[in-house]
A and B are shown apart, each in its own frame.
Chain A
Amino acid sequence: MDPTRRFWTAASAGALLAGLGALFARPELIVGAAGVGALILARQYAFLRALQRFDDDLTVTVATPERHVRRDERSEVTLSVDLAAGTPLPATVTASLPVTAGAVDPAERTVRLAPGDDSGATTFAVEWPVVGRASAPAPTVAVTDAFGLFRESFRRGPETTIQVEPRQPRNVHVGEGGDAASATFGGHRSDRYGEGIDPAELRQYAPGDSISDIDWKATARLAYPHVREYEVETDRRTVLVVDHRGRLAAGPDGETKFDYLREVALTVASAAERATDPLGLYTVGDDGLTTELRPSTAGQRYQDVRTRLHDLAPTGGAGRPHTSARGAMGARRAAAVLADDDSAFARTLRPYLDERAGYVRRMDDDPLFETTRTYLDRLGGGHWVLLFTDDSDRTRLRETIRLARANDNNVVCFLAPSVLFESGGLSDLDDAYDRYADFESFRRDLAGMDRVTAYEVGPGERLSALLADGRRERRGQRQ
Chain B
Amino acid sequence: MTASADSAPPDTASVASESGDRVPFPAPVVSAMATWLAVVGVVVGHLGLLVASPDGIGLVALVLVEGTLLVALVGVELGLAERPPAAVGALAVAWVGLVGATVAATTVWSGWPVALGAACCLALLSYALHRVELVTLGLVEDVDERE
- Contact-residue size bin, chain A (C-beta under 8 Å from the other chain): 35 or more
* Given A18-B118, A30-B102, A39-B73, A114 and B22 contact (CB-CB distance below 8 Å): no
| Residues from chain A with Cβ under 8 Å of B95 in the complex | 35, 38-39, 42
Partner of A154, one of B49, B126, B137: B137
| Residues from chain B with Cβ under 8 Å of A36 in the complex | 39, 42-43
* Given A46-B87, A120-B4, A35 and B126 contact (CB-CB distance below 8 Å): no
Chain B positions 105 through 129: 1 when the CB is less than 8 Å from some CB of chain A, otherwise 0: 0100011101100110010011001
Q: How far is the CA of A40 from the CA of B139 in the complex (A)?
A: 23
| Residues from chain B with Cβ under 8 Å of A142 in the complex | 23-26
> How far, in Å, is B72 (CB) from chain A's closest CB?
11
The verdict on A268 contacting chain B, using a C-beta distance below 8 Å, is no
Stretch of A88-96, A244-252, A322-330 lying at the B interface: A88-96
| Residues from chain A with Cβ under 8 Å of B83 in the complex | 46, 49-50, 88
Q: How far is the CA of A25 from the CA of B22 in the complex (A)?
A: 47
| Residues from chain A with Cβ under 8 Å of B21 in the complex | 94, 96-97, 106, 140
| Residues from chain A with Cβ under 8 Å of B1 in the complex | 86, 114, 116-119
Partner of A31, one of B4, B43, B46, B87: B46
Closest A residue to B49 using CB positions = A28
Q: How far is the CA of A48 from the CA of B91 in the complex (A)?
A: 14
Partner of A106, one of B22, B87, B102: B22
> How far, in Å, is B132 (CB) from chain A's closest CB?
7
Interface of B is mostly: helix
- Whether A114 lies near B8 (C-beta < 8 A) is yes
Choose among A16, A29, A119 the residue with the greatest number of B CB atoms under 10 Å from its CB: A29
Partner of A94, one of B23, B111, B139: B23
- Whether A114 lies near B115 (C-beta < 8 A) is no
- Whether A35 lies near B66 (C-beta < 8 A) is yes
The verdict on A321 contacting chain B, using a C-beta distance below 8 Å, is no
Query: Which residues in window 88-107 of B have CB below 8 A to A?
Result: 90-91, 93-95, 97-99, 101-103, 106
| Residues from chain B with Cβ under 8 Å of A122 in the complex | 4-5
> How far, in Å, is B5 (CB) from chain A's closest CB?
6
Q: How far is the CA of A112 from the CA of B3 in the complex (A)?
A: 6
| Residues from chain A with Cβ under 8 Å of B99 in the complex | 31, 34-35, 38
> How far, in Å, is B20 (CB) from chain A's closest CB?
8
The verdict on B71 contacting chain A, using a C-beta distance below 8 Å, is no
> How far, in Å, is A336 (CB) from chain B's closest CB?
50
Chain A positions 37 through 53: 1 when the CB is less than 8 Å from some CB of chain B, otherwise 0: 11111111110111110
- Whether A106 lies near B14 (C-beta < 8 A) is yes
Choose among B66, B69, B122 the residue with the greatest number of A CB atoms under 10 Å from its CB: B122
Chain B positions 41 through 81: 1 when the CB is less than 8 Å from some CB of chain A, otherwise 0: 01101110110000011000010011001000100010011
| Residues from chain B with Cβ under 8 Å of A115 in the complex | 29, 82
Query: Which residues in window 1-44 of A have CB below 8 A to B?
Result: 1, 6, 10, 13-19, 21-23, 25-44
| Residues from chain B with Cβ under 8 Å of A6 in the complex | 28, 32, 35
The verdict on A352 contacting chain B, using a C-beta distance below 8 Å, is no
Contacts beyond the supplied A26-B56, A48-B132, A114-B3: 11 A-B pairs with Cβ under 8 Å: A1-B130, A26-B111, A34-B102, A41-B98, A42-B87, A106-B14, A112-B3, A112-B26, A122-B5, A144-B26, A146-B81
- Give B contacts to A, CB under 8 Å: 1-5, 7-9, 11-12, 14-15, 17, 19, 21-30, 32, 34-36, 38-40, 42-43, 45-47, 49-50, 56-57, 62, 65-66, 69, 73, 77, 80-83, 86-87, 90-91, 93-95, 97-99, 101-103, 106, 110-112, 114-115, 118-119, 122, 125-126, 129-130, 132-134, 136-139, 142
17 A-B pairs with CB atoms under 8 Å apart are A6-B28, A10-B36, A14-B122, A22-B114, A27-B111, A31-B66, A38-B95, A42-B91, A52-B136, A55-B136, A88-B83, A94-B23, A114-B8, A144-B28, A146-B80, A146-B82, A154-B138
Lowest 6 CB-CB distances: which A-B pairs, in order? Answer: A32-B46, A148-B28, A112-B8, A120-B3, A27-B106, A90-B26
